[in-house]
């Protein structure tokens, strides 16, 4: 695959620098920002697998760390949704000004607490076009979910009853175009055989439908093999 940008990047946010991996295929018509949850990082194998599929289907991806290594050592930072949201807003502004991504639609793929930050940022930023939450803690943004007005997909495994019920609660609070996909036989990390592939395909299909410009909509399906 040919890329017009494939580098590690550094983004200033307040008094810290955030690091990420920006991968923009030459065919990319949009970019998806991965907002991972507590205890994860931009090196997450699961997120990288989802990102790889999106890249094959004309999306750029940015995987970055919301917290510095020092900040991540303190659990309370991982649950500070306002801090995570501010960082995401700063990263989004950077994407909008960077030459390789300037002027193309932006979407968010959030996991864990990162999903709450993605939804909270989407409620603030009219330029965000679509959100996908994979086993996310969307309920942590419950106070602003009624202000999210872009297409939002919640994906959750059927085996994690607590997360499933919390996602149903968040889903009920949303008034935007929305969908709740329950992956049967999957836990919250989608580690069972074939389940992460299902998540990847669901996310890819959602972003193709709601993130790509209509005049460049790609009709090929999001198969992982």
Residue 205's closest CA among 107, 124, 120?
Answer: 107
- Residue 178 — very low, low, confident or very high, per pLDDT cuts 50/70/90? very high
Q: Is the dihedral of CA 104, 52, 152, 167 positive or negative?
A: negative
What's the pLDDT score for residue 212?
Answer: 85
Mapped onto helix, strand or coil, the DSSP state of residue 95 is helix
**224 part of a folded domain:** no
End-to-end Cα, the chain, rounded Å: 16
Q: What are phi and psi of 36, to 5 degrees?
A: -80, 165
List the CATH number of the domain containing 42. 3.40.50.1820
Q: Among all chains, which residue has been given the structure tokens 């801090």?
A: 83
Mapped onto helix, strand or coil, the DSSP state of residue 39 is coil
pLDDT at residue 218 is higher than 60: no
- What are the distances in angstroms from CA 76 to CA 82, 109, 114, 214? 12, 22, 14, 41
**40 part of a folded domain:** yes
**102 part of a folded domain:** yes
**75 part of a folded domain:** yes
**116 part of a folded domain:** yes
- Report d(CA 164, CA 136) in Å as an integer: 10
Q: What mean pLDDT do residues 170-193 have? A: 95
Q: What mean pLDDT do residues 58-79 have? A: 83
Which residue pairs, CB below 8 angstroms and at least 24 apart, start in 202-205? 202/132, 202/153, 202/155, 203/50, 203/54, 203/109, 203/132, 203/134, 203/153, 203/155, 204/53, 204/54, 204/57, 204/59
Q: What percent of the chain has pLDDT over 90?
A: 78
Q: Among all chains, which residue has been given the structure tokens 């949201």?
A: 85
H or E element in which residue 51 lies = helix 45-56
* Average pLDDT score over the chain: 91
What's the pLDDT score for residue 223?
Answer: 63
102-138 confidence digits (pLDDT tens): 999 999 999 999 999 999 999 999 999 999 999 999 9
Q: Which of 76-85, 88-97, 142-151, 167-176 has the lowest mean pLDDT?
A: 76-85
pLDDT at residue 157 is higher than 60: yes
Residue 53's closest CA among 96, 23, 12?
Answer: 23
What's the pLDDT score for residue 9?
Answer: 94
Domain limits for position 196: 3-216
Report whether 66 contacts 42 (CB < 8 A): no
pLDDT at residue 217 is higher than 50: no
pLDDT at residue 215 is higher than 60: no
**199 part of a folded domain:** yes
What's the pLDDT score for residue 70?
Answer: 81
**222 part of a folded domain:** no
**221 part of a folded domain:** no
Q: What mean pLDDT do residues 2-18 have? A: 93
pLDDT at residue 46 is higher than 80: yes
78-106 confidence digits (pLDDT tens): 788 999 999 999 999 999 999 999 999 99
What's the pLDDT score for residue 69?
Answer: 77
Mapped onto helix, strand or coil, the DSSP state of residue 32 is strand
What is the domain count for the chain? 1
E-strand spans in 14-164? 16-25, 30-35, 59-64, 106-112, 128-136, 152-157
């Amino acid at each position: 695959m040919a890329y017009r940008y494939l580098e590690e990047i550094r983004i200033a946010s307040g008094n810290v620098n955030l690091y990420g991996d920006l991968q923009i295929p030459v065919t990319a018509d949009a970019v998806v920002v991965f907002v991972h949850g507590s205890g994860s990082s931009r090196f997450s194998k699961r997120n990288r697998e989802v990102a790889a599929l999106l890249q094959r289907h004309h999306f750029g991806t940015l995987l970055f760390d919301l917290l510095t290594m020092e900040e991540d050592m303190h659990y309370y930072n991982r649950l500070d949704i306002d801090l995570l949201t501010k960082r995401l807003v700063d990263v989004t502004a950077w994407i909008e000004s960077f030459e390789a991504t300037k002027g193309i639609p932006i979407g968010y793929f959030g996991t864990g607490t990162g999903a709450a930050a993605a939804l909270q940022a989407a409620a603030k930023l009219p330029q965000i076009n679509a959100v996908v939450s994979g086993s996310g803690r969307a309920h942590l943004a419950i106070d602003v979910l009624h202000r999210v007005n872009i297409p939002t997909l919640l994906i959750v495994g059927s085996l994690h009853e607590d997360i499933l019920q919390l996602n149903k609660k968040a889903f009920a609070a949303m008034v935007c175009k929305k969908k709740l996909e329950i992956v049967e036989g999957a836990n919250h990390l989608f580690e069972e055989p074939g389940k992460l592939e299902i998540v990847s395909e669901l996310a890819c299909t959602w972003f193709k439908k709601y993130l790509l410009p209509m005049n460049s909509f790609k009709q090929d399906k999001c198969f992982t093999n």
